[in-house]
Amino acid sequence: MPRSLASTTFPAYAVKMTLPFHTPLTSAQQIDAGLGAAQSLAMADQVRFSELDVLNHVNNARYMEWFERLRIRYVQEWGISQYDRPEDPRIVIRSGTIHYRREMRMDEVYITTCACATYRSTSFSLRQQLWAGGDLRATFDCVLVLRSPDGAAGYPIPAPVLDRFHQIDQAKKEG
């Protein structure tokens, strides 16, 4: 019989709170979980045994998967692409930098965040963070480029997306 998150007992090193997993968190939920400030998009999950390496902490490659999972959700929710329509742009990571700050362990509850920091006409930079127990554990900064559906040319960021970048993310135009 599945147990609810409310009845889950976390180890001493895990965050003791009740958060919905795989669901965008409210600003209040983010602040209560120990994030310094609420982010544009944030979701919680829990470290699984299959994500551990031989040293019994989370394998570095898993961080990239967690960031990717939320980045895809961000792209969908901001209306950039649904990944299934022929008119959707191709989205390419031009560059990215990850900083691992502190290890993650089995059963820890974590929150990944995502927001646009800056943009140009066909590209934008995202700032992603990984939090657990009120501590920033990793960051990933990347530049995404939009290409036409056939990949032959740049694809301008649509005006409604630019509005979300400004209103929700407080993103700045580069150049």
Q: Which long-range contacts (CB under 8 A, 24 or more apart) does 130-134 make?
A: 130/63, 130/66, 130/67, 130/104, 131/33, 131/34, 131/35, 132/14, 132/15, 132/104, 132/108, 133/13, 133/14, 133/15, 133/34, 133/108, 133/109, 134/15, 134/33, 134/34, 134/35
Q: What is the pLDDT along the chain (175 residues), one digit of tens a residue?
A: 444 444 444 444 444 458 999 999 999 999 999 998 999 999 999 999 999 999 999 999 999 999 999 999 999 999 999 999 999 999 999 999 999 999 999 999 999 999 999 999 999 999 999 999 999 999 999 999 999 999 999 999 999 999 999 999 999 999 8
122 in Cβ contact with 74 (< 8 Å): no
In a domain, 10, yes or no: no
Residue range of the domain that includes 55: 18-173
Residue 12 lies in a domain: no
Q: What CATH number did the domain enclosing 159 receive? A: 3.10.129.10
Q: 112 in a domain, yes or no?
A: yes
Q: Specify the number of domains making up the chain.
A: 1
**For residue 13, is it within any domain?**
no
Q: Quick check: pTM over 0.85? A: yes
